[in-house]
Chain A
Amino acid sequence: MMRRALALATTVALVAPSAAFARGSFDPTKEFEQHEWVPIHLGPLNLSITKAVAYLMLGSVLTILFGIFFMRSKAARVPGRRETLGELAYEVAQTQIAEQGLPSKAMSRWFPYCASLLLFIFVVNLIGFIPLPLTGETWHGVPTWGIYAATSSISVTLALALLTFVFTHVEGVRWNGPVRYFKSWIPEAPAGLLILIVPLEVLGQFMRLISLSVRLFANMLAGHILILTFLGLMFILQSVVLAVLVVPVGILFYLFEVIIVVGIQAFIFAALSAIYIGSAIEPEH
């Protein structure tokens, strides 16, 4: 009975808007525009505070609070639920990320970096799916609530990827010396093939930068656009009946993003950073 009612409602929703097939004025990509809220210009540098910067600040504060609340405070040291959660985060960072990529001699130096990458990206991704009054728009003087993730901006993820890129090569040179490190890029192959392989290896180092940043950025951007487009179909096709179909699908995508994508992407970014840094410290041959 329930299913038949749903099927009927869906059919009505798909048939009804054809009369009013006018395109509404909803554009999901507008959600990702950056407006300068507090303009700060230092010469050619534009350090203005925009939506993404506000989300990053909020994310940093929340990450620090997470660390203090679950790991450093006195109450977090007595066994209990709080301690368990803090230790769970620590254990994932240690056994799943740091020990997979980093050699044990570099563990004490680079474990903090990889663990903070994991926590920070996770928190920034997660607050991107919590509606917050940070859209910068107002409705009768009340700020409107919306979802936006700072990691869905390529500048943010590229900055994080650049950190890993720089650390990788600085550590490679520091542990092995410049000659041995750059020699480790050259694989053993006949001299004729080397002309082909070496440029590819060098290119591969820069491709890491692109793949690391684009993976996180495109995942978060696509997730948000997917949810916004599905909800926006109501406004584009101008039909409220469509909500029967569109809202459950939107919620499904939302749950998929929050439960799977947010954690996985933070994990992947931190794990790949650990692997890159580890492989630079201990080249395979």
Chain B
Amino acid sequence: MINLLFSAASNSPITHAGKAIGLALGVGLGALGAGVGIGNIFGSMIQSVARQPELRGELQGIQWLGFALTEAVVFYGLLGSILAYVLV
């Protein structure tokens, strides 16, 4: 079985399926992590503004910074999986 997998030509249906699964898994897991992170950021933002509404302006800059840093995680996943899809 393992022999069959490794000796398969790179354009066999199994390779295609594996590539597609890899691409979807990479993006999906990246989005999962970023979803948790972005939820955390906005949740904490809401809590902080509810406690100290006068700090809203200052917090907003930090919030968007954190949002963009976290959101980029999806794109690292996307980029990695696209690389895997194209190169393998």
Q: A residues bordering B, Cβ < 8 Å? A: 96, 100, 211, 214-215, 218-219, 222, 264-265, 267-268, 271-272
Can you list 9 residue pairs at the A/B interface with Cβ under 8 Å? Answer: A214-B72, A218-B75, A218-B78, A222-B74, A264-B68, A267-B64, A267-B68, A268-B69, A271-B65
Query: Which B residues are closer than 8 A to A by beta carbons?
Result: 61, 64-65, 67-69, 71-72, 74-76, 78-79
Taken together as a complex, chains A and B put the C-alpha atoms of A222 and B69 apart, in Å, by 16
B72 touches which one: A100, A219, A267, A271 (CB < 8 A)?
A219
A215-B68 contact in complex given A96-B61, A100-B61, C-beta closer than 8 Å: yes
A-B contact sample (12 more), CB < 8 A, given A218-B72, A264-B64, A264-B67: A96-B61, A214-B75, A214-B76, A215-B68, A218-B75, A218-B78, A219-B71, A222-B74, A264-B68, A265-B68, A268-B68, A268-B69
Per the bound structure, the CA–CA distance linking A96 and B61 in Å amounts to: 6
**A96-B61, A100-B61 known; A222 and B68 CB under 8 Å?**
no
The residue in chain B whose Cβ has the minimal distance to the Cβ of A97 is B61
Please state if A211 and B72 are interface contacts (CB–CB under 8 Å): yes
Identify the closest chain A residue to B71 (Cβ): A219
A123 to B36, CA, bound (A): 31
Q: Which residue of A lies closest to B61 (CB)?
A: A96
A218 touches B79 (CB 8 A): yes
Q: How far is the CB of A163 from chain B (nearest CB, A)?
A: 19
CB distance from A98 to the nearest CB of B (A): 12
Chain A contacts of B72 at CB under 8 A? 211, 214-215, 218-219
Establish whether residues B79 and A214, one from each chain, have CB atoms under 8 Å apart when the complex forms.
yes
Q: Within the assembled complex, what's the spacing in Å between the Cα atoms of A125 and B65?
A: 18
Chain B residues with CB below 8 A from A264, complex form? 64, 67-68
Q: Shortest distance in angstroms between B2's beta carbon and chain A's nearest beta carbon?
A: 33
Residues in chain B near residue A214, CB distance under 8 A: 72, 75-76, 79
Q: Report the minimal beta-carbon distance from A274 to chain B, rounded to whole angstroms.
A: 11
List chain A residues, Cβ under 8 A from B75. 214-215, 218-219, 222
Contacts of A272 in B (CB 8 A): 65
Min CB distance, A91 to chain B, in Å?
A: 12
Q: How far is the CA of A211 from the CA of B76 in the complex (A)?
A: 9
- Residues from chain B with Cβ under 8 Å of A215 in the complex: 68, 72, 75
Which A residue sits closest to B75, measured CB to CB?
A218
Q: How far apart are the CA atoms of A190 and B68 in the complex, in Å?
A: 34
Residues of B within 8 A of A222 (CB): 74-75, 78
Q: How far is the CB of B77 from chain A (nearest CB, A)?
A: 10
Give the docked Cα–Cα distance between A164 and B61 (Å).
21
On whether A268 and B78 interact (CB within 8 A), knowing A214-B72, A218-B72, the answer reads no
Tell me the complex Cα distance, A76–B74, Å: 41
Determine if B64 and A268 form an interchain contact, defined as CB atoms under 8 angstroms apart. Answer: yes
**Shortest Cβ distance from A264 into chain B, in angstroms?**
5
**Residues in A neighbouring B68, C-beta threshold 8 A:** 215, 264-265, 267-268
State in angstroms the CA–CA spacing of A198 and B61 once bound together: 31
A residues in contact with B65, CB < 8 Å = 268, 271-272
- Taking the nearest CB of chain A, how far is it from the CB of B66, in angstroms? 10
- In the complex, A267→B60 CA distance in Å? 12
* Residues on the B chain within 8 Å of A267, using CB: 64, 68
